A and B are shown apart, each in its own frame.
Chain A
């Protein structure tokens, strides 16, 4: 019974220390601000997702074409717009990276 309570006390102390750890390790930090995505970073992320989507769609179109699910005509009709979309996404992403402060 005493052992149980002692163990409980130990548990409680360990828990409190663990929870307080961030404050104990950095009692006076340079910045306590939680990193968050700036609007440009969010924009970049959206563009990156768009780029990945376009590239993924291209890859899938190629695969579907090779396996015969998409006919030659359909392939020709779709590959152009998809390639353009991917190129646009890549360009937009690069533009964002090179001039993050120009808006």
Chain B
């Protein structure tokens, strides 16, 4: 079985290597049959990789411990879903997941565009180039099919990974990371073929949206996991691993916006190439950041055997992208990315999109700097230094707050040029709403955090402008449904903006206006207060589980017109140690949470109760759902538009030769 797996991977590697080499030659020398053959090779690589994946899954399901990978990551008593999730729990398996998703996406993209030979001629080898790296790693460096004499039982899975999040969060992220390879391959393919038209953008628009959606959902799942499981009441710690997914997502957001400028005005062709290359390279970087533990220094990469390989590949892809972009943007070959169209006015939607890009990319780059700082400082000064929350928070606020404002400004401004007078008219209502909201909030005491107050005020501005867009549009189009279905991208985009507004309000509320009371020392019957609630320690009982003992307390809570009980406690696993089991109450009044943790003091007669009251935090998750809905609306195929685009490109692809 394992030999079949190895063989399947070798076949896949051979196929993508062929796609790379033959595809490049065919595109260069304009050989039709060879190009078609390379395309077929890329298509065939998917079933080959799928066979290898199926073998690993079967081996996992059967607890086949002759597979070293299965023995390292699972054990006999591991429930089936988690056993299967071990597929991506280890290094070799996650490489295989990358490859199977990559070949799957590539096959689909090639299939959908199979008639557009010229477009695919150079795209196929670029896909091949990326796949060759992963195929090489899987065949020769880090194979999931190492065999061994079967031990009686496997090493098992770390308990903290045995939860539903582990089933969903990594695959979601990978679907996003790998998805960014598709627009990248098409973009580089376009550069290589000298095609400077928008064909590549049109072909990859939905791919980019889908990858961006998966990446966003993956991050939300990860944040929620951290919030409920890890137990410090937070959901984002600016950890390098979290930043690894955030950076490409920010750049992809910038790309989604600036692509619209290219479509409407024909500008920014070079910038779009830069963005798509940056997004993909960040996604490669991010995939592998996740592999190390603490990023202390460059040494953390070399702990894993693939670290050096990965660095080499990333450098190769960066150089590849930069060289291609520079070559074409300076007019190399017969395609030039330079356009004559200029920005007509600073008061235009293009300008707001440009600012949006600037802020998003600036934020991504400052985060990148923060992530790389330990590595750089060690290389340059020999001393590892790192930055932390204050650094990231500063730039999140500095760049993020204006971004919120822009979300509201953009839709109100027309393309090309808007006169200040018409601007004033459309601005009036949202501006008034924002001012009133800000004033009311200030009066209610929200001035305690000026960042939070600004976030709320700007959110009110954006919310008002979105509502106005729907109201105005509805009367013009004759109904909301007609309005949205005729302008899917625009109104889907507005829904996504609304989701971001919810998210921002949730983040601002739970960060800037949270109440934290820690180390409240309580004996049975004693109480403490927080945020208008009274917490009384009622009782405690011991609990016993399959591999742990522990305790649960009962804390009754009264206040703000509600009463409820919380049961924070701890679990004590003789092998793994003590862990907190948080108890959370979802407060319908504030859409927030009351989050508690408890530990026993030494004598065992009293507890230390930690209370976090986080208003509005559930808007974050609600925003997540709305985000998915909005993205789906924006992505939804539009038959009318498809026909128009097909006609445009069919007309243009008349065969060469007189």
A contacting B, Cβ–Cβ less than 8 Å = yes
Q: Residue A41 contacts which of B26, B35, B652 (CB distance < 8 angstroms)?
A: B652
When distances are taken between beta carbons in the complex, the residues of chain B under 8 Å from A87 are none
Inter-chain CA distance A61–B209, complex, in Å, is 26
A71 touches B425 (CB 8 A): yes
| A36, B30: Cβ atoms closer than 8 Å | yes
Q: Is A101 an interface residue (CB 8 A)?
A: yes
Chain A residues whose CB sits within 8 angstroms of the CB of B198 once the complex forms: 49
Contacts of A57 in B (CB 8 A): 264, 415-416
From B7, B41, B416, B654, A12 is in contact (CB under 8 Å) with B7
A77 to B48, CA, bound (A): 60
Q: In the complex the two chains form, what is the Cα distance from A63 to B473 in whole Å?
A: 8
What's the nearest-Cβ distance from chain A to residue B113, in Å?
A: 14
| Contacting residues, chain A, for B419 (C-beta < 8 A) | 71, 73-74, 77
Chain A residues, CB < 8 A from B158 = none
**Cβ of A77: which chain B residues have Cβ within 8 Å of it?**
419
Partner of B33, one of A32, A39, A69, A78: A32
Query: Please, which residue of chain A has its CB at the minimum distance from the CB of B26?
Result: A34
Interface centre among B8, B11, B653, B656, by most A CB within 10 Å?
B656
Q: Is B415 within 8 A of A5, CB to CB?
A: no
- Evaluate contact between B3 and A74: CB separation under 8 angstroms: no
Q: Report the Cα distance A71→B427, complex, angstroms.
A: 13
A22 near B649 with CB under 8 A, answer no
Q: How far is the CB of B56 from chain A (nearest CB, A)?
A: 14
Count B interface residues, CB 8 Å: 65
Is residue A94 contacting chain B, with contact meaning CB distance below 8 A?
Answer: no
Q: Are B41's CB and A19's CB within 8 A?
A: yes
Most buried by A among B27, B37, B117: B37
- Measured between C-beta atoms, what is the minimum distance from A76 to chain B in Å? 11
Once the chains are docked, how many angstroms separate the CA of A56 from the CA of B37? 39
Asked if A8 lies at the interface with its beta carbon under 8 angstroms from chain B, I say yes
Q: Could you say which residues of chain B place their CB within 8 Å of the CB of A99?
A: none
| A19 and B476 contact, CB distance less than 8 A | no
A18 & B40 in contact (Cβ 8 Å cutoff):
yes
Distance, CA A29 to CA B37, complexed state (A): 15
Cross-chain contact B649 with A19 (CB below 8 angstroms): no
Kindly name the residue among B51, B198, B265, B476 whose own CB sees the greatest number of chain A CB atoms within 10 A: B476
Contact A35 B197 (CB under 8 A): no
Contact between chains at A15 and B44 (CB < 8 Å): yes
> Could you say which residues of chain B place their CB within 8 Å of the CB of A1?
1, 3
Q: A22-B36, A35-B32 are in contact. Are A74 and B418 (CB under 8 A)?
A: yes
Quick one: which of B1-49 are within 8 Å of A by CB?
A: 1, 3-4, 7-8, 11, 14-15, 18, 26-27, 30-37, 40-41, 43-44, 48
B-contact bits for A3-28, CB 8 A (1 contact / 0 none): 01101100110110011111100100
Across-interface contacts of B651 in A (CB, < 8 A): 44, 48
- Chain A interface size band reads 35 or more
Residue from the list B1, B14, B18, B27 in contact with A4, Cβ < 8 A: B1
* A68 and B426 contact, Cβ closer than 8 Å, known pairs A37-B118, A53-B263, A53-B266: yes
* Residue B121, interface by CB 8 Å: yes
Q: How far apart are the CA atoms of A49 and B40 in the complex, in Å?
A: 31
Given the known inter-chain contacts A15-B48, A34-B30, please indicate yes or no for A69 contacting B414, CB distance below 8 A: yes
Q: Which residue of B lies closest to A36 (CB)?
A: B118
The digit string for A53-75, where 1 denotes a CB below 8 A from any CB of B, is 10011001101101111110110
Q: Judge whether A53 and B44 touch: CB under 8 Å.
A: no
A78–B344 Cα gap in the complex (Å)? Answer: 12
CB pair A67–B473 under 8 Å, yes or no, is yes
Question: In whole angstroms, how far apart are the Cα atoms of A22 and B652 in the complex?
Answer: 25
A-side contacts of B425, CB under 8 Å: 68, 71
Interface centre among A5, A64, A101 (most CB of B within 10 A): A64
Which of A18, A22, A70 touches B422 (beta carbons < 8 Å)? A70
Q: Please tell me if the beta carbons of B3 and A41 are within 8 angstroms of each other in the complex.
A: no
Q: Is B334 an interface residue (CB 8 A)?
A: yes
A59 → chain B, closest Cβ, in Å? 10
Known: A8-B8, A31-B32, A53-B266. 16 other contacts (CB 8 A): A15-B11, A15-B15, A18-B41, A18-B43, A19-B40, A20-B37, A22-B32, A22-B36, A23-B33, A33-B31, A36-B118, A36-B193, A37-B118, A48-B652, A69-B422, A101-B658
Identify the 9 closest CB pairs spanning chains A and B, nearest first: A8-B7, A4-B4, A45-B652, A67-B472, A71-B422, A22-B36, A34-B30, A22-B33, A38-B656
Q: List 27 A-B contacts (CB under 8 A).
A: A1-B3, A5-B7, A8-B3, A8-B8, A11-B11, A11-B51, A12-B7, A15-B14, A15-B41, A18-B41, A19-B41, A22-B32, A22-B34, A29-B33, A34-B26, A34-B121, A38-B654, A48-B651, A50-B266, A57-B264, A61-B414, A67-B476, A70-B422, A71-B425, A73-B422, A74-B419, A74-B422
Which B positions have Cβ atoms within 8 angstroms of A?
Answer: 1, 3-4, 7-8, 11, 14-15, 18, 26-27, 30-37, 40-41, 43-44, 48, 51, 117-118, 121, 193, 195, 197-198, 263-266, 334, 412, 414-419, 421-422, 425-426, 469, 472-473, 475-476, 487, 644, 648-649, 651-658
